[in-house]
Amino acid sequence: MLLLIKNGTVINPGDQTQAEADVLVEDGMIKKIGAALPVKAERVIDAAGCYVMPGFIDMHVHLRDPGQEYKETVETGLRAAVHGGFTTIVAMPNTKPIVDNPDVVRYVHNKAQDIGLAHVLQAGAMTRGERGEELSDIEGMVEAGIPALSEDGKSVMNAQLCREAMTLAMKYDIPVLAHCEDRNLVNGGVVNEDGNAQRLGLKGIANSVEDVIAARDMILARETGAALHLCHCSTKGSVQMLRFAKQVGLRVTAEVCPHHFTLTSSDIPEDDANYKMNPPLRTQEDVDALKEGLRDGAIDVIATDHAPHTAIEKGEGLKHAPFGIAGLETVASLVMTELVEPGYLTMMQMAEKMSYNPAKILGLDRGVAEEGKPADLVVFDPQREYVINPADFYSKGKNTPFAGRKVRGMVMATVVDGRVVYER
Ligand code: DOR
Ligand code: ZN
Ligand code: ZN
For residue 308, how far is its CA from the centre of ligand 1 (angstroms)?
Answer: 9
Give the number of the atom of ligand 1 that is nearest the alpha carbon of residue 231: 6
Which numbered atom of ligand 1 lies nearest the CA of 181? 6
| Distance of CA 232 from the midpoint of ligand 1 (Å) | 10
Residue whose CA is closest, atom 3 of ligand 1? 324
Asked if 255 and 59 count as a contact pair (C-beta separation under 8 A), the reply is yes
Pocket of ligand 1 (CB under 6 A): 62, 94, 152-153, 179, 277-278, 305, 307, 322-324
Would you call 46 a catalytic residue per the annotation? no
The Cα–Cα gap between 251 and 228 comes to 6
Which among 300, 305, 376, 381 is annotated as catalytic? Answer: 305
> What is the C-alpha separation between 154 and 400, in angstroms, rounded?
22
- Whose alpha carbon is nearest atom 1 of ligand 1? 324
Assign 288 to helix, strand or coil: helix
C-alpha span between 211 and 230 (Å, rounded): 11
Residue 1 has pLDDT above 90, yes or no: no
CA distance 25 to 31: 5
How many Å lie between the centroid of ligand 1 and the Cα of residue 226? 24
- List pLDDT tens digits, range 133-144: 999 999 999 999
pLDDT tens-digit series, residues 203-259: 999 999 999 999 999 999 999 999 999 999 999 999 999 999 999 999 999 999 999
* pLDDT at position 34 over 90: yes
Residues 211, 238: contact at Cβ < 8 Å? yes
311-369 confidence digits (pLDDT tens): 999 999 999 999 999 999 999 999 999 999 999 999 999 999 999 999 999 999 999 99
Q: Are 299 and 239 in contact (CB under 8 A)?
A: yes
Cα atoms in the 13 Å half-sphere on the side-chain side of 48:
2
At residue 69, the pLDDT reads 98
Tell me which residue of 68, 80, 4, 72 sits closest to 411, measured CA to CA.
80
Give the closest residue to 30 by CA, choosing from 282, 341, 369, 421. Answer: 369
Edge-to-edge strands, sheet with 56-61: 56-61, 86-91, 119-122
- Per the DSSP assignment, residues forming a β-bridge with 193 are none
Question: How many C-beta atoms surround the C-beta of residue 27 within 10 A?
Answer: 10
| Residues 6 or more apart in contact with residue 82 via CB below 8 angstroms | 117, 118, 414, 416, 421, 422
